[in-house]
Amino acid sequence: MNQSLTIRRPDDWHLHLRDGELLRAVLPHTAAHFARAIIMPNLVPPVVTGADAAAYRDRIMAALPEGMVFEPLMTLYLTEETDPEDVAAAQASGLVKAVKLYPAGATTNSASGVTDFDRVTGVLEKMADIGLPLCTHGEVTDPSVDIFDREAVFIDRVLDPIRKRHPGLRVVMEHITTSDAVDYVREGNENLAATITTHHLVINRNHILAGGIRPHYYCLPVAKRERHRLALRAAATSGNARFFLGTDSAPHTDANKLLPCGCAGCFTAPNTLSILAEVFEQEGALDQLEGFTSINGPHFYRLPVNEERVALTRTPPSFPDHIETEEGPVTLFDPQMPLNWSL
């Protein structure tokens, strides 16, 4: 039985840092573990232009505690008015590493997202030309489609037509939740990859609904049936280089999570690595943890891997139930299983 494991310092390829006081409270929990992270642009107002991204990056770096080393990898929020030349300039400057597609109304702060996909054709063509990845929130918003089917329908109605229309476009299917998405990535080419969250490896829809509603497990895309969770675990631990970690760590204060219409999101930044080590050990795949957390993502994004190493040791960690912020407490995701690995 392994007592320790040394891996390259991980990266997080899907992260919400928010802004203002909440940013200052949650950023240290990511920077303590991760060298880099793809930063989601769904602020209010959203991060739409290169100038917006530069200003947000400055706020992130100003909030980083002294002595901590962390690189935010910025993204732009795709709208129907996005300027292809601004996108190209933002990438050429080295600032922006991806553009994020939110179907309008699909998730938190997605009201400015895309309704008519024909209106973003020029941006997607430019992105294909310059090799800039498109990160997708993969759900349709058609009210006639059941919430548990929206990812699979998105693949058929939206994503597959986009990829056929723009075959050179590099796409990251973010926070996949279904065996349909796993199969679609496996059947795709080198231009297609997917991130998998920590919490979707742990919970299925029963954790949210059985025995009472548990708001802190409510996320979007919502957790699915157990067979989908098992498909995600198999993909994450398989060694397939087109699956990698994107925590989608999404902090909301308890006051906002516990409303009659509460916010979607799980806050996993502090305990992700301990949970992942447990999951990968359960699957007999500790040797694949470094690839999933530290190698596959940089390779897809055409960035160097981190040279710094971190050590996980077989020591039960201790985590608080919540963290305090100026806006109120933020509850930490509870994996409902013993954890045996500490960073």
Q: Is the pTM for the entire model greater than 0.75?
A: yes
Cβ 259 vs Cβ 323: under 8 Å: no
Domain range annotation of the chain: 9-199+223-248+283-305
3-state SS, 67-114, equals CCCCEEEEEEECCCCCCHHHHHHHHHCCCEEEEEECECCCCCCCCCCE
Q: Report residue 132 as tokens.
A: 């800039």
Question: How far is residue 76's CA from residue 50's CA, in Å, rounded to a whole number?
Answer: 7
Angle at 275 between CA 273 and CA 281, to 5 degrees: 100
CB within 8 A of 20, min separation 6: which ones? none
Angle at 92 between CA 111 and CA 32, to 5 degrees: 70
Mind listing the pLDDT tens digit of every residue in the chain (343 residues)?
A: 789 999 999 999 999 999 999 999 999 999 999 999 999 999 999 999 999 999 999 999 999 999 999 999 999 999 999 999 999 999 999 999 999 999 887 777 677 789 899 999 999 999 999 999 999 999 999 999 999 999 999 999 999 999 999 999 999 999 999 999 999 999 999 999 999 999 999 999 999 999 999 999 999 999 999 999 999 999 999 999 999 999 999 999 999 999 999 999 999 999 999 999 999 999 999 999 999 999 999 999 999 999 999 999 999 999 999 999 999 999 999 999 999 999 9
Residue 248 annotated to the active site: yes
Question: The domain 9-199+223-248+283-305: what is its CATH number?
Answer: 3.20.20.140
Question: How far is residue 255's CA from residue 10's CA, in Å, rounded to a whole number?
Answer: 31
The helix/strand/coil state of 340 is coil
The values of phi and psi at residue 256, to 5°, are -85, -30
Q: Report residue 290 as tokens.
A: 């470094």
- H-assigned helices in 237-306: 254-257, 272-282, 289-290, 296-301
pLDDT digits (tens, 9 = 90+) for 143-189: 999 999 999 999 999 999 999 999 999 999 999 999 999 999 999 99
The values of phi and psi at residue 313, to 5°, are -120, 150
Maximum distance among all alpha carbons in the chain? 55
Choose among 75, 67, 64, 59: nearest CA to 19: 59
Residues shown for the chain = 343
Q: List b or e across 49-85, with b for residues whose CB sees 16 or more CB atoms inside 10 angstroms.
A: bbebbeebbeebeebbeeeeebbbbbbbbbbeebbbe
The helix/strand/coil state of 343 is coil
Catalytic residue among 11, 129, 248, 254: 248
CA-based end-to-end distance of the chain? 17
